Structure 1
């Protein structure tokens, strides 16, 4: 089983480390990493522009985006839905072992 180590620093300065289990059909762990970086960067940028955004609204929009992208795959709908559920469940299972590290902020 392949894993993708990933660390993200939140806009508030917390660093979170993950070990994401990759689906056997993953074509490129590097591409997955690059896409994840771009998605999170874009989300944070847009939230900063939009202002206050509830976590539930964000999660709902992400779930809907996953549904739209799943429907866009030209394959058997049951197969693509199962794949989407599998990769989402694997990603959520990684939260059990996520490590948080608060980065100290100094003042001059």
Structure 2
């Protein structure tokens, strides 16, 4: 991801592939609310998204909103303030319309 290019919607990381419905939902919410976003595809590493997906025997719909950073887990870690604001805005908008989305698989 790039600093200053908006919040990141996770597609996949080293431990999980996000549910396509969740990715589609978050992209749609971001576009509708005119929230700048970028896809996040990480070949290594992981987040709690993988654990959430595997919480139940049948799995769970999971996705992630990430704040693009540099020097992760270092004392010099940095992020763009606008990306942080966009991440908060996307989370808020997603929570407000979560119950209105059709979570069925597309035919």
TM-score, L = length of structure 2 = 0.34
Larger radius of gyration: 1
TM-score, L = length of structure 1 = 0.34
